[in-house]
Structure 1
Amino acid sequence: MDINGLLYKNRRICDSMSFHRLRSSAMRSINLDKMLLFFPFLLLITPINGMSGVGCPMGCVCNDETYVVLCERNKLDVLPITLNPAIQRLVLRNNKIKTVDAAFQFYKDLQYVDLSNNHLVNIPTKSFIYQEKLQELHLNKNKLSSINNKTFQGLKSLTVLNLRENFLEELPQGLFSIMPKLEELNLGQNRISKIDPLAFDGLTALRVLYLDDNALSSVPTSSFSVLGSLAELHVGLNAFSSLPDDAFKGLGKLSVLDLSSAGLSNMSNNAFRGLTGLRSLNLVDNKLQRIPTAQLSHLSRLEELSIGQNEFTTVEKNSFKGLSNLRKLDITGAPNLQKVEKGAFSDNLNLEFIVLASNKKLEELEEGALVGLPNLKHLVLKDNSFKALSESMVSWNELRSLEMTDNPIVCDCHLLWLSNLISMKNLSNVQCSMPLALRERPLRTLSPDDLGCSFRDPRQQAILVTLCVSAVVLLGGLGLFLFRYRQRVREALKDYKWNKRAISRKEHEYQKTFSDDDYIVRSAQQGIKPIPVTEL
């Protein structure tokens, strides 16, 4: 029977805790070969126990069907060797393990190992020499201060290596060259200040690299030349201050670039040259005085841009010129931003999502600043200093969502259109700040009377305005006519008055000389049949 079989048989017949204590003390005093000679004696003196899972350390979960072992927060200080040698997934995070010893040689089928948040100080050479099937290794949140090109010897199938939150200070030449299948490497939150130009040599399959939150004073451009397949790079939280020309030379397939909190205050016009496939760029929390329009113009395929928490005061006209494929723009937390000019997004017709949030001094969006964006569907304007919104600022009817909370909005009749729009399209609500009687009340719940509108229906307002304008035009035209033909009008009035006086005089004389009574009397005397007289 081989060693692995012997150990597994022992796991099924011995008590796990007593064995674990015995194994720990034995490892401290004798080497592994001598300990293996001790196993036959152990089998003889240990009573047979029929309990299932007896080789699983107390507090751990061991599943022999899925070949998964989970030992989390179990205060282990060494690697257990009594587990099923066929296990494929081993999780030992949040323990007190200080080193990776030879126990790994018993588990040759491992595919996933998590040793994060332990007390690892070093990893002896060839510790993983038998883990040729291992695909993921997580060593983050430990105390590793140095590694070399023999540390990971044997990890031919490894695709993910996580060394985040350790104390690494430099990356020597050929450090990862023995891991040709590595696709993701996380070196963030260390103390790395020096990277050899050939540190990443051999990582031809690497697609994701984290170098954020280290002590780099400049972009390690020279070390990127061997990373032709890299798609995602995180180098924020360093102290770059500036980006030179071709800072990311050799990364033609890069799709995601994170430069957040990198201390950038200056960029060369050609800093991003060569990144023709970049889709997402994060420039949040730097020291940019203006939006780097010329530098961004190289990124014609850029779709997402985050540029908040910088020091610019205005989003100027054509600030994002050349970014015709931009779909999402996020400007959040810019402490000095005060205004967005009309035409700021005139070259970004594919914009679907705009976030202008938590900009405490932003109180003005120029008329039409967001007009002409036919694909704009989501607009976030929360936590700014807007007191009112113009109906002509954006094509409101095309929006699917609107977020306007935490603004000092003055709710009056000028926002009746917005109230109707919110109700009609079921957009996110807007809360009033002023007047005091309406404070914190949702705009959608307010009636036209609450907003101080004279007419409830905007159509009535339009009709009233139309009537008033028509009346003014008519009266103005009449006045102009009278003024122009005033002489003729005056003569016509004189003629009218003269004729009226003459007719009145004749009628008066007629009535005096020949009244109706006289006519009837005379007709009777002369035998003339009276003719009925009809009054005029």
Structure 2
Amino acid sequence: MAPIRRGHTGKPCLALFMLIAMLYFAAPESIDICRDCSCVGTLLHVSCRGVFRLGAQLKHTFEDVAFRGLDLNVPQSTLSPDLFQNRTGIIYLNLRGNGLKCIDDGMFTILHQMKYLTLSRNALTAIPVFHNLTSLQELYLVSNNIRSLGSNLKAHAPKLKLLLLDHNRITFVQGDHFPEELESLGLSFNRMTSIDGGSLSGLLQLQKVDLTGNLISQISSGSFLLPGLKTVILNENRIREIFKDTFNPELDKLHLNSNRLSGLGNISGIPSLKGLYVSYQREVIKLQEIPLLENLIELTITVESSPDLADGIARILTKMPRLQILSVVEGKMDYTAIGAYFINISILEEYNDNSNRVYPTQLINLRYQESGLVELPQVFAPSMIVLYVPGNLLVELKLKDLTKLYPRLHTIDLSNNRIRVLSSCGVSGVSHPLKVLILKGNKLWLFSAWRCGNGFKILTNLLTLNLDDNSLSYLERELIPRSSSDQAPFRTSVSAGDNRLICDCHQRWLVKLEDSINFVNTKCSAPEGHAGKPLSDLLKDGFPCPLSVSEEQACTISNNSEILVQCPAASYPFPDISWALAESGFDFNETLSVDHQMEDLEVVAGSLVVKLDSRRLYVDEEEMNISLTCRAISEGDTLDINVLVHIEFINVDETGEYSNLSVQCHPSVKESGRKLLQPITASTEDIGLTENLTGWALGDAKSCLRSANGTLIAVMVGITCFVYYVLT
């Protein structure tokens, strides 16, 4: 009898836990810093995060270890006043995210060589009292609870160059609280309501101040009249008016986005201004009222659709000759009554008083977002590198515009337009340097391809093509970069995510591009076996696919005397093919005068060769049809396809001889229940009933469309073909 197993009491586990705890707390205080912390560059920089339990232990950790930088993360711990005893060599100290509410006055006294101190993301309510930080150059106090500033910094950190106090609760600042050598000051997202002449007084070295996201509604004259000031950021405030003599005349950049301005007249007093950012005001600023600043290089503005919009933009481009970056964003746009307002070359000529030439602008970056454009901005920009026109109403991409207007363009973003058509019409024999083409969120669909030839023969330098979020079911040969024989191979990254791609055998041609095209963010949605799989994985596996009707041309002519008929079946692994005469076809013996029934039919590597000998071929008509059926078998699946061979005899004389011929093949899937005739193979077994029948494939719909004559008929046939394809 097996011994009875007693219940486990858990006492051994408890004893083991207590032993480990005793050993842990009995461990020596001197901890191996490279075992418990991460060290970078032979102890020049040490990062200790969550390693220690008590602040008192930290003191001994650093003994006899030489390092210059320290990241210390000890949340909710208390830092010992003598923590940095004998650590005079520290230059960089990061105490970010420790939850510190206060810091002992003498904590950093010994660190007189320290240049960079980070105390962000703590709970400090006041700037700590620093003693003897005579070398400190950068101090980060972002995201604390600081409400006011004292004079401590000016007295004990006289060489401070950068001070960041963003995301605190400061309501008031005075210039004499800051070190005189301060060059950059961050006060964004505090609670200040006004700025006056004393707020920054005495800061003669100050170059940049950021006051974004406060509650500022008033700025007094002289507030920013500092001789060294180059950048002022006042975004997201409540400013209604700019007073005269508010800013340094030598100011470089002024940010006033998201305020309540209605005019910019007094900005004309800043003649050296190079960057002006005034988008998203409560009231739309009229372009005609923007001061003409000859030195302006970059302008960001929000506009409202109006009949004089194009004139206003033309005025800016012609009267500000140094402008390189223009960002135009639509403010209040009514899509029910939107017009086509875009920059037009003829208007530029009018403003420039020169109608004999195209006026070139100096733009290198143009952002024209959600502004109702129906075509690309018609402005000649020979230096433009980046063009952003997302969220407009374009329905066609014309390469002619790129080559004519933007000959050096590097990146174009056309996302979220309505583009259905890609056109290379009117362009030949040129190569454009475009490297990034973004067509995300457009209307490219089932039959989308380049008009007037493969546009990638022009875009030979393309590195990135984004086709995400369109209505693509197939990636057509003309839609993906393919190198011709006279081109260097493409090295393009193609993204086609958020489409409903059907990864059947129609897409297997992509295997040939695997070395030159990198598909990213591109997954299949069908057929069932491939749904959810990355396209790149299928290509690496050779693109296995089930039986379907191929789009490849099924008939070719050789030496005007042979017709090679290929079975239009596609699969991988490749299918086994057999042939038979269809029931409704012509009798070969009656239609073609041949000596023997099988002499002019031969199966070669799965293809059927029809041999035609003009010396013994006599025809009563100038054209005829031959109906054949091929059976394809792959991986246990069977597909029977009817192939209608249409032969047209050219220059037939009265004796029935011809000098030339043309041939077309029209495939269709064999209907259910049709019984096949004797196969044209060495075997004489019946093929039997058709199995695994499918509906018309994409190739059938396309052939059907191409065969329709006349616009109305083509539309009706197209609709019929598409509906039949979907239903079956």
Alignment TM-score > 0.5, same fold: yes
Distance 1:423 1:301, change over 3 A: closer
Q: Residues 225 and 248 of structure 2 are in contact (CA less than 8 Å); yes or no, is this contact kept in structure 1? A: yes
Go from structure 1 to structure 2 and tell me whether the alpha carbon gap of 1:264 and 1:487 turns closer, same or farther (over 3 Å shift).
Answer: closer
CA distance in 1, matches of 2:656, 2:139: 110
Counterpart among 436, 444, 448 of residue 353 in structure 1: 436
State which drifts further: 433-442 or 337-346. 337-346
> In the alignment, does 2:390 pair up with 1:308?
yes
In the alignment, what sits opposite 1:98? 147
**Residue 333 and residue 58 in structure 1: after superposition, are their counterparts in 2 closer, same or farther (change >3 A)?**
farther
Q: Following the alignment from structure 1 to structure 2, what is the Cα–Cα distance between the partners of residues 436 and 475?
A: 44
* Alignment match of 1:57 (pick from 98, 103, 107): 103
Q: 1:74 to 1:247 in 2, by over 3 A?
A: same
Structure-1 separation of matches of 2:425 and 2:239 = 40
Aligned to 1:400: 492
Asked if structure 1 preserves the Cα contact closer than 8 Å seen for 2:492 and 2:516, the reply is no
Task: Kindly indicate whether the alpha-carbon contact (under 8 Å) linking 1:323 and 1:348 is maintained by their aligned counterparts in 2.
Answer: no
Displacement of 1:185 in angstroms is 2.1
8 A contact 2:481–2:492 mirrored in 1: no
1:121 Cα deviation from its structure 2 partner: 0.9
State yes or no: 1:440 paired with 2:532: yes
Mark the CA change 1:377 to 1:322 in structure 2 (over 3 Å): closer, same or farther: same
Distance 1:269 1:488 in 2: 71
Q: Give the aligned CA root-mean-square deviation in angstroms.
A: 4.1
Question: Does the CA contact (< 8 Å) of 2:130 and 2:153 recur in 1?
Answer: no
Which of 486, 492, 514 is the equivalent residue of 2:655? Answer: 486
Q: Is the 8 A contact 2:449 2:478 kept in 1?
A: no
Distance 1:401 1:213 in 2: 37
Question: Which AA in structure 2 matches 1:89?
Answer: E
Distance 1:228 1:482, change over 3 A: closer
More moved, 238-247 vs 114-123: 238-247
Match for 1:269 among 300, 311, 321? 311
2:257 pairs with 1:212: yes
Q: 1:416 to 1:488 in 2, by over 3 A?
A: closer
Task: Indicate if the aligned counterparts of 1:241 and 1:265 stay in contact, CA closer than 8 A.
Answer: no
Counterpart Cα distance in 1 of 2:137 and 2:651: 103
Alignment match, 1:525: none
1:229, CA displacement in angstroms? 4.8
Indicate conservation of the 8 Å contact 2:210/2:232, yes or no.
Answer: yes
Cα offsets for 1:506-533 (capped at 9, x unmatched): xxxxxxxxxxxxxxxxxxxxxxxxxxxx
Decide whether the 8 Å contact of 2:431 with 2:460 is kept in 1: no
1:21-59 CA-partner distances (Å, limit 9, x unpaired):
xxxxxxxxxxxxxxxxxxxxxxxxxxxx977579x9249
CA distance in 2, matches of 1:105, 1:425: 60
Of 278, 288, 294, the residue aligned with 1:235 is: 278
Asked whether the 8 Å contact 2:191–2:215 carries over to 1, the reply is yes
Matched, 1:223 2:273: no
**1:45 is matched with which residue?**
none
Go from structure 1 to structure 2 and tell me whether the alpha carbon gap of 1:428 and 1:143 turns closer, same or farther (over 3 Å shift): same
Question: Do the aligned residues in 2 keep the contact of 1:246 with 1:273 (CA within 8 Å)?
Answer: no
Matched letter for residue 474 of structure 2? A
1:183 aligned residue: 230
Q: Secondary structure at the match of 2:501?
A: coil
CA contact (8 A) 1:277 1:301 kept: no
Amino acid at match of 1:486: T
Q: Secondary structure at the match of 2:545?
A: coil
CA distance in 1, matches of 2:533, 2:559: 34
For the 8 Å contact 1:143–1:167, the answer to whether it is kept is yes
In 2 relative to 1, CA 102–470 (structure 1 residues): closer, same or farther, beyond 3 Å? farther
Q: Which structure: greater strand fraction?
A: 2
State the shift of 1:250 in Å: 1.1
Q: Give, in angstroms, the shift of residue 408 of structure 1.
A: 1.5
Q: 2:166 aligns with which of 102, 116, 123?
A: 116
**Which residue does 1:7 correspond to in 2?**
none
CA distance in 2, matches of 1:481, 1:124: 97
8 Å contact kept, 1:137–1:160: yes
Going from structure 1 to structure 2, the CA distance change for 1:78 and 1:213 (only over 3 Å counts) comes to same
When normalised by structure 1's length, the TM-score is 0.66
- Cα distance, 1:138 vs structure 2: 0.8
Please identify, of 168-177 and 380-389, the stretch whose mean Cα deviation from structure 2 is larger.
168-177
Instruction: After TM superposition, list the pairs within 5 Å mapping 1:372-383 onto structure 2.
Output: 372-383=458-469
Tell me how far 1:143 sits from its aligned partner.
0.6
**1:64 and 1:157 mapped to 2: Cα distance?**
23
Superposed CA deviations along residues 70-112 of structure 1, whole A, max 9, x for unmatched, are 3334433333334325133332222332223333431322211
> TM-score scaled to structure 2, two decimals?
0.50
Query: Which residue does 1:38 correspond to in 2?
Result: none
User: Could you tell me how far 1:419 is from its partner in structure 2?
Assistant: 3.7
Q: Is 1:169–1:191's contact at 8 Å kept on the other side of the alignment?
A: yes
Kindly indicate whether the alpha-carbon contact (under 8 Å) linking 1:352 and 1:377 is maintained by their aligned counterparts in 2. Answer: yes
One-letter code of the match for 1:177? L
User: Which segments of 5 or more consecutive residues in structure 2 lack a partner in the other structure?
Assistant: 1-80, 87-101, 345-376, 484-489, 565-610, 620-648, 659-728
Tell me the distance in 1 between the aligned counterparts of 2:561 and 2:150.
Answer: 95
Q: Residue 136 of structure 1: CA displacement?
A: 1.1
What amino acid sits opposite 1:236 in the alignment? Answer: S
CA distance in 2, matches of 1:466, 1:243: 68
Residues 237 and 226 of structure 1, relative CA distance in 2, 3 Å threshold: same
Greater shift in the superposed pair: 116-125 or 343-352 = 343-352
The residue type equivalent to 1:355 in the other structure is: I
Distance (whole Å) between structure 2 residues aligned to residue 440 and residue 199 of structure 1: 60
Q: Is the 8 A contact 2:268 2:291 kept in 1?
A: yes
Contact 1:345 1:369 in 2 (8 A): no
> Looking at CA atoms only, which structure, 1 or 2, has the larger radius of gyration?
1
Once the two structures are TM-superposed, the CA of residue 284 in structure 1 deviates from its matched residue by 6.0
Offset, 1:328: 0.7
Is 1:91–1:113's contact at 8 Å kept on the other side of the alignment?
yes
State the partner residue of 1:41: none
Q: Which residue of 2 aligns with 1:149?
A: 197
The structure with more helix, counted as a fraction of residues: 1
477-486 or 402-411: bigger deviation: 477-486
Cα distance 1:51–1:439, how it changes in 2: closer, same or farther (>3 A)? closer
**Distance in structure 2 (CA, Å) of the matches to 1:81 and 1:356:** 56
Unaligned runs of 5+ in 1: 1-48, 490-536
1:305, distance to aligned residue in structure 2 (A) = 1.9
User: Over residues 378-433 of structure 1, what are the superposed CA-to-partner deviations in whole Å (9 max), with x where a residue is unaligned?
Assistant: 11111222223332246433242111111122334432223431355444363222
Following the alignment from structure 1 to structure 2, what is the Cα–Cα distance between the partners of residues 451 and 468?
A: 35
Give the 3-state SS of the residue equivalent to 1:195 in structure 2.
Answer: coil
Instruction: Using CA pairs under 8 Å that are at least 6 residues apart, name the structure with larger relative contact order, 1 or 2.
Output: 1
User: 1:326 maps to which residue?
Assistant: 409
Contact 2:222–2:246, Cα closer than 8 Å, also in 1: yes
Aligned residue among 236, 247, 250 for 2:293: 250
Secondary structure of 1:402's counterpart equals: strand
Question: Residues of 2 paired with 1:213 and 1:344: CA distance?
Answer: 43
SS of 2:125 mapped into structure 1 = coil
In 1, the alpha carbon distance for the partners of 2:406 and 2:482 equals: 23
Cα 1:370–1:229 shift into 2, 3 Å: farther
Judging changes above 3 Å, is the alpha-carbon distance between structure 1 residues 84 and 434 closer, same or farther for their aligned structure 2 residues? same
Q: CA deviation at 1:161?
A: 0.9
| Distance (Å, rounded) in 2 between the aligned partners of 1:123 and 1:144 | 8
Amino acid at match of 1:112: L
Alignment of 1:139 with 2:187, yes or no, is yes
In structure 2, the CA distance between the partners of 1:97 and 1:487, relative to structure 1 (3 Å rule), is closer
CA shift digits 1:147-206 (9 cap, x unpaired): 02332111111122111111112444433112x22233221121223223543342x152
Comparing 361-370 with 159-168, greater Cα deviation is found at 361-370
